[in-house]
A and B are shown apart, each in its own frame.
Chain A
Amino acid sequence: MITCRRAAELISWELDTDLPLHRRAGLGFHTLVCAACRRYRRQLGPIDEAVADAVARLRGANLPDETKDHLRAMVATYLEENS
Protein backbone atom coordinates (compact mmCIF):
# COMPACT_ATOMS: atom_id res chain seq x y z
CA MET A 1 0.00 0.00 0.00
CA ILE A 2 1.13 3.57 -0.67
CA THR A 3 2.28 5.71 2.25
CA CYS A 4 0.43 8.75 3.60
CA ARG A 5 3.25 10.88 2.20
CA ARG A 6 2.57 9.51 -1.26
CA ALA A 7 -1.18 9.75 -0.78
CA ALA A 8 -0.86 13.44 0.13
CA GLU A 9 1.00 14.05 -3.14
CA LEU A 10 -1.65 12.23 -5.14
CA ILE A 11 -4.45 14.08 -3.33
CA SER A 12 -2.89 17.33 -4.50
CA TRP A 13 -2.15 16.10 -8.01
CA GLU A 14 -5.69 14.94 -8.59
CA LEU A 15 -6.71 18.59 -8.16
CA ASP A 16 -4.43 19.56 -11.05
CA THR A 17 -4.65 16.67 -13.44
CA ASP A 18 -6.39 13.41 -14.20
CA LEU A 19 -4.53 10.72 -12.33
CA PRO A 20 -3.67 7.57 -14.28
CA LEU A 21 -5.92 4.66 -13.38
CA HIS A 22 -3.40 2.74 -11.26
CA ARG A 23 -2.62 5.82 -9.19
CA ARG A 24 -6.29 6.57 -8.73
CA ALA A 25 -6.83 3.00 -7.60
CA GLY A 26 -3.89 3.18 -5.19
CA LEU A 27 -5.19 6.41 -3.70
CA GLY A 28 -8.74 5.08 -3.56
CA PHE A 29 -7.67 2.05 -1.60
CA HIS A 30 -5.47 4.06 0.72
CA THR A 31 -8.20 6.55 1.60
CA LEU A 32 -10.63 3.71 2.12
CA VAL A 33 -8.59 2.48 5.06
CA CYS A 34 -6.89 5.71 6.19
CA ALA A 35 -9.11 8.26 7.94
CA ALA A 36 -6.28 10.79 8.17
CA CYS A 37 -5.83 10.98 4.41
CA ARG A 38 -9.60 10.98 3.89
CA ARG A 39 -9.73 14.04 6.06
CA TYR A 40 -6.84 15.69 4.27
CA ARG A 41 -8.51 15.04 0.94
CA ARG A 42 -11.78 16.55 2.13
CA GLN A 43 -10.11 19.58 3.65
CA LEU A 44 -7.98 20.46 0.62
CA GLY A 45 -10.96 21.08 -1.64
CA PRO A 46 -12.19 24.28 0.06
CA ILE A 47 -8.71 25.81 -0.07
CA ASP A 48 -8.57 25.60 -3.84
CA GLU A 49 -12.17 26.71 -4.15
CA ALA A 50 -11.57 29.82 -2.05
CA VAL A 51 -8.51 30.82 -4.07
CA ALA A 52 -10.37 30.20 -7.32
CA ASP A 53 -13.20 32.42 -6.01
CA ALA A 54 -10.77 35.18 -5.09
CA VAL A 55 -9.23 35.05 -8.56
CA ALA A 56 -12.67 35.08 -10.17
CA ARG A 57 -13.60 38.20 -8.21
CA LEU A 58 -10.59 39.96 -9.72
CA ARG A 59 -12.09 39.29 -13.13
CA GLY A 60 -14.81 41.83 -12.38
CA ALA A 61 -12.29 44.57 -11.65
CA ASN A 62 -12.01 47.65 -13.84
CA LEU A 63 -9.16 50.00 -14.45
CA PRO A 64 -9.79 53.05 -12.21
CA ASP A 65 -11.12 56.10 -14.09
CA GLU A 66 -8.23 58.38 -13.19
CA THR A 67 -5.77 55.79 -14.46
CA LYS A 68 -7.71 55.60 -17.70
CA ASP A 69 -7.55 59.38 -18.04
CA HIS A 70 -3.85 59.27 -17.40
CA LEU A 71 -3.27 56.48 -19.92
CA ARG A 72 -5.42 58.19 -22.59
CA ALA A 73 -3.39 61.35 -22.17
CA MET A 74 -0.18 59.36 -22.35
CA VAL A 75 -1.22 57.67 -25.60
CA ALA A 76 -2.39 60.98 -27.13
CA THR A 77 0.89 62.69 -26.25
CA TYR A 78 2.88 59.84 -27.68
CA LEU A 79 0.92 59.85 -30.93
CA GLU A 80 1.31 63.63 -31.25
CA GLU A 81 5.05 63.48 -30.78
CA ASN A 82 5.59 60.46 -32.99
CA SER A 83 3.14 60.90 -35.83
Chain B
Amino acid sequence: MNRSRTAPLLDPATWVDTHGDYLYRFALARARDPEVAEELVQETLLAALSARKSFRGQSSERSWLTAILKRKAIDWLRAEVRKRVKHEPLPDKWADAQFTRGGKWKKKPDEWSADDPGREMTRDDFRDTLAVCLDKLPPRLRQAFVLRHVDEQAADDVCEAVGVSSTNLWVMLHRARLRLWRCLSVNWLGEEPGRPLEGST
Protein backbone atom coordinates (compact mmCIF):
# COMPACT_ATOMS: atom_id res chain seq x y z
CA MET B 1 0.00 0.00 0.00
CA ASN B 2 1.24 3.43 -0.90
CA ARG B 3 -0.31 5.00 2.10
CA SER B 4 2.04 3.32 4.54
CA ARG B 5 4.93 5.23 2.96
CA THR B 6 3.33 8.61 3.35
CA ALA B 7 1.71 10.04 6.47
CA PRO B 8 -1.39 8.04 7.37
CA LEU B 9 -4.60 9.94 6.90
CA LEU B 10 -6.42 11.00 10.00
CA ASP B 11 -8.55 14.08 10.05
CA PRO B 12 -9.69 14.60 13.65
CA ALA B 13 -11.49 17.84 12.86
CA THR B 14 -14.04 15.86 10.81
CA TRP B 15 -14.44 12.89 13.18
CA VAL B 16 -17.63 14.04 14.85
CA ASP B 17 -19.36 14.71 11.54
CA THR B 18 -18.03 11.71 9.66
CA HIS B 19 -18.16 9.02 12.33
CA GLY B 20 -20.13 10.48 15.26
CA ASP B 21 -23.49 8.85 14.51
CA TYR B 22 -21.88 5.53 13.61
CA LEU B 23 -19.89 5.39 16.84
CA TYR B 24 -22.91 6.47 18.84
CA ARG B 25 -25.04 3.62 17.47
CA PHE B 26 -22.27 1.15 18.11
CA ALA B 27 -22.05 2.35 21.71
CA LEU B 28 -25.81 2.53 22.19
CA ALA B 29 -26.34 -1.01 20.98
CA ARG B 30 -23.99 -2.18 23.71
CA ALA B 31 -24.78 0.13 26.59
CA ARG B 32 -28.49 0.73 25.79
CA ASP B 33 -28.32 3.96 27.77
CA PRO B 34 -28.00 7.14 25.65
CA GLU B 35 -26.02 8.99 28.29
CA VAL B 36 -23.53 6.18 28.66
CA ALA B 37 -23.28 5.89 24.88
CA GLU B 38 -22.48 9.61 24.56
CA GLU B 39 -19.83 9.29 27.24
CA LEU B 40 -18.28 6.31 25.50
CA VAL B 41 -18.08 8.29 22.26
CA GLN B 42 -16.46 11.20 24.04
CA GLU B 43 -13.92 8.96 25.76
CA THR B 44 -13.19 7.30 22.44
CA LEU B 45 -12.52 10.61 20.72
CA LEU B 46 -10.23 11.73 23.52
CA ALA B 47 -8.31 8.46 23.47
CA ALA B 48 -8.07 8.63 19.69
CA LEU B 49 -6.78 12.20 19.79
CA SER B 50 -4.00 11.35 22.16
CA ALA B 51 -3.14 8.16 20.27
CA ARG B 52 -3.41 9.58 16.76
CA LYS B 53 0.38 9.69 16.24
CA SER B 54 0.43 5.92 16.55
CA PHE B 55 -2.10 5.42 13.73
CA ARG B 56 -0.29 3.47 11.02
CA GLY B 57 -2.98 3.52 8.38
CA GLN B 58 -3.37 -0.24 8.35
CA SER B 59 -7.09 0.11 8.84
CA SER B 60 -9.54 2.81 7.87
CA GLU B 61 -10.06 5.76 10.15
CA ARG B 62 -13.47 4.40 11.05
CA SER B 63 -12.34 0.89 11.98
CA TRP B 64 -9.51 2.37 14.00
CA LEU B 65 -11.95 4.55 15.95
CA THR B 66 -14.38 1.67 16.30
CA ALA B 67 -11.66 -0.57 17.71
CA ILE B 68 -10.96 2.03 20.38
CA LEU B 69 -14.66 2.36 21.17
CA LYS B 70 -14.99 -1.40 21.36
CA ARG B 71 -12.33 -1.55 24.07
CA LYS B 72 -14.07 1.25 25.95
CA ALA B 73 -17.41 -0.54 25.66
CA ILE B 74 -15.97 -3.82 26.94
CA ASP B 75 -14.36 -2.02 29.86
CA TRP B 76 -17.68 -0.40 30.64
CA LEU B 77 -19.58 -3.70 30.40
CA ARG B 78 -17.08 -5.42 32.60
CA ALA B 79 -17.24 -2.70 35.25
CA GLU B 80 -21.02 -2.67 35.04
CA VAL B 81 -21.29 -6.40 35.54
CA ARG B 82 -18.80 -6.33 38.39
CA LYS B 83 -20.60 -3.44 40.04
CA ARG B 84 -24.03 -5.01 39.85
CA VAL B 85 -23.23 -8.55 40.73
CA LYS B 86 -20.44 -10.02 42.76
CA HIS B 87 -21.00 -13.63 42.05
CA GLU B 88 -23.66 -15.51 40.21
CA PRO B 89 -24.08 -19.03 41.47
CA LEU B 90 -23.42 -21.85 39.08
CA PRO B 91 -25.46 -23.86 38.46
CA ASP B 92 -28.45 -21.57 38.30
CA LYS B 93 -30.75 -22.67 41.10
CA TRP B 94 -33.68 -20.77 39.69
CA ALA B 95 -33.45 -22.49 36.32
CA ASP B 96 -33.04 -25.88 37.95
CA ALA B 97 -36.09 -25.25 40.11
CA GLN B 98 -38.29 -25.00 37.03
CA PHE B 99 -37.99 -28.74 36.54
CA THR B 100 -38.63 -31.81 38.64
CA ARG B 101 -35.81 -34.10 39.60
CA GLY B 102 -36.82 -36.25 36.66
CA GLY B 103 -36.43 -33.28 34.31
CA LYS B 104 -40.11 -32.52 33.69
CA TRP B 105 -41.71 -29.07 33.82
CA LYS B 106 -42.89 -28.32 37.35
CA LYS B 107 -45.30 -25.80 35.96
CA LYS B 108 -46.17 -26.53 32.39
CA PRO B 109 -46.24 -23.77 29.79
CA ASP B 110 -49.70 -22.26 29.45
CA GLU B 111 -51.24 -20.96 26.30
CA TRP B 112 -50.64 -17.22 26.11
CA SER B 113 -54.14 -15.85 26.10
CA ALA B 114 -53.03 -12.59 24.56
CA ASP B 115 -52.37 -14.69 21.53
CA ASP B 116 -49.80 -13.95 18.91
CA PRO B 117 -47.44 -11.19 20.09
CA GLY B 118 -46.83 -10.29 16.47
CA ARG B 119 -50.35 -8.92 16.21
CA GLU B 120 -50.59 -5.14 16.13
CA MET B 121 -52.94 -4.84 19.10
CA THR B 122 -50.85 -6.81 21.52
CA ARG B 123 -47.39 -5.98 20.27
CA ASP B 124 -46.90 -2.83 22.34
CA ASP B 125 -48.06 -4.53 25.53
CA PHE B 126 -45.76 -7.39 24.82
CA ARG B 127 -42.82 -5.05 24.31
CA ASP B 128 -43.54 -3.06 27.45
CA THR B 129 -43.78 -6.20 29.54
CA LEU B 130 -40.65 -7.58 27.96
CA ALA B 131 -38.77 -4.39 28.87
CA VAL B 132 -39.87 -4.78 32.50
CA CYS B 133 -38.88 -8.44 32.47
CA LEU B 134 -35.49 -7.64 30.93
CA ASP B 135 -34.77 -5.24 33.76
CA LYS B 136 -35.53 -7.97 36.27
CA LEU B 137 -32.91 -10.29 34.84
CA PRO B 138 -29.61 -10.66 36.67
CA PRO B 139 -27.23 -8.17 34.96
CA ARG B 140 -24.97 -10.78 33.42
CA LEU B 141 -27.88 -12.58 31.84
CA ARG B 142 -29.39 -9.34 30.62
CA GLN B 143 -26.16 -8.16 29.01
CA ALA B 144 -25.65 -11.53 27.41
CA PHE B 145 -29.17 -11.68 26.03
CA VAL B 146 -29.27 -8.14 24.66
CA LEU B 147 -25.79 -8.29 23.16
CA ARG B 148 -26.65 -11.59 21.53
CA HIS B 149 -28.93 -9.52 19.29
CA VAL B 150 -26.49 -6.73 18.52
CA ASP B 151 -24.27 -8.75 16.22
CA GLU B 152 -21.79 -11.63 16.14
CA GLN B 153 -19.00 -9.33 17.17
CA ALA B 154 -20.92 -8.25 20.23
CA ALA B 155 -21.41 -11.86 21.31
CA ASP B 156 -17.63 -12.18 21.44
CA ASP B 157 -17.54 -8.92 23.35
CA VAL B 158 -19.94 -10.16 25.97
CA CYS B 159 -18.00 -13.38 26.40
CA GLU B 160 -14.96 -11.25 27.06
CA ALA B 161 -16.75 -8.73 29.27
CA VAL B 162 -18.53 -11.35 31.34
CA GLY B 163 -15.59 -13.71 31.25
CA VAL B 164 -17.24 -16.82 29.85
CA SER B 165 -16.65 -19.18 26.94
CA SER B 166 -19.14 -19.33 24.10
CA THR B 167 -20.50 -22.61 25.48
CA ASN B 168 -21.21 -20.91 28.77
CA LEU B 169 -22.77 -18.06 26.86
CA TRP B 170 -25.31 -20.51 25.43
CA VAL B 171 -26.09 -21.70 28.93
CA MET B 172 -26.58 -18.11 30.05
CA LEU B 173 -28.81 -17.35 27.09
CA HIS B 174 -30.92 -20.39 27.93
CA ARG B 175 -31.29 -19.20 31.51
CA ALA B 176 -32.10 -15.69 30.38
CA ARG B 177 -34.80 -16.93 28.00
CA LEU B 178 -36.30 -19.23 30.61
CA ARG B 179 -36.59 -16.35 33.06
CA LEU B 180 -37.93 -13.92 30.47
CA TRP B 181 -40.42 -16.46 29.28
CA ARG B 182 -41.64 -17.17 32.82
CA CYS B 183 -41.86 -13.46 33.59
CA LEU B 184 -43.85 -12.84 30.40
CA SER B 185 -46.10 -15.79 31.11
CA VAL B 186 -47.01 -14.34 34.46
CA ASN B 187 -47.22 -10.67 33.53
CA TRP B 188 -48.26 -10.41 29.95
CA LEU B 189 -51.94 -11.40 30.04
CA GLY B 190 -50.78 -14.96 30.02
CA GLU B 191 -51.62 -17.68 32.47
CA GLU B 192 -55.12 -18.15 31.24
CA PRO B 193 -56.63 -20.43 33.85
CA GLY B 194 -57.95 -23.84 33.14
CA ARG B 195 -56.74 -24.29 29.62
CA PRO B 196 -55.79 -27.96 29.54
CA LEU B 197 -52.59 -29.10 27.99
CA GLU B 198 -52.93 -32.31 26.08
CA GLY B 199 -50.32 -34.90 25.41
CA SER B 200 -47.56 -33.50 27.57
CA THR B 201 -45.07 -35.89 29.04
Residues of A close to B16: CB separation below 8 A? 63, 68, 71-72, 75
Closest to B107 in A: A36
> Of B23, B29, B45, which contacts A74 at CB under 8 A?
B45
Q: Does A52 contact B (CB under 8 A)?
A: yes
Query: CA of A53 to CA of B198 in the docked complex: distance in angstroms?
Result: 33
Query: CA of A43 to CA of B130 in the docked complex: distance in angstroms?
Result: 13
Residues of A close to B41: CB separation below 8 A? 63, 67, 71
Q: How far is the CB of A24 from chain B (nearest CB, A)?
A: 15
Please classify how large the interface on chain A is, using the bins under 10, 10 to 19, 20 to 34, 35 or more: 35 or more
Query: CA of A6 to CA of B170 in the docked complex: distance in angstroms?
Result: 13
Task: Give the size of the chain B interface in residues (CB under 8 angstroms).
Answer: 59
Query: CA of A4 to CA of B117 in the docked complex: distance in angstroms?
Result: 24
Query: CA of A81 to CA of B89 in the docked complex: distance in angstroms?
Result: 50
The residues in B between 1 and 33 inclusive whose CB is less than 8 angstroms from any CB of A are 12-13, 15-17, 20-21, 23-25, 28-29, 32
The A contact surface, by secondary structure, is helix
On whether A51 and B181 interact (CB within 8 A), knowing A3-B103, A43-B112, the answer reads no
Q: How far is the CB of B60 from chain A (nearest CB, A)?
A: 19
Tell whether, in the assembled complex, residue B177 and residue A44 are in contact, meaning their CB atoms are under 8 Å apart.
yes
Q: Which residues of A contact B (CB under 8 A)?
A: 1, 3-6, 8-9, 12-13, 15-17, 30, 33-37, 39-40, 43-44, 46-55, 58-59, 61-64, 67-68, 71-72, 74-76, 78-79, 82
Q: Which residues of B contact A (CB under 8 A)?
A: 12-13, 15-17, 20-21, 23-25, 28-29, 32, 34, 38, 41-42, 45-46, 49, 98-99, 102-105, 108-112, 116-118, 126-127, 130-131, 134, 145-146, 148-150, 170-171, 173-174, 177-178, 180-181, 184-185, 197-201
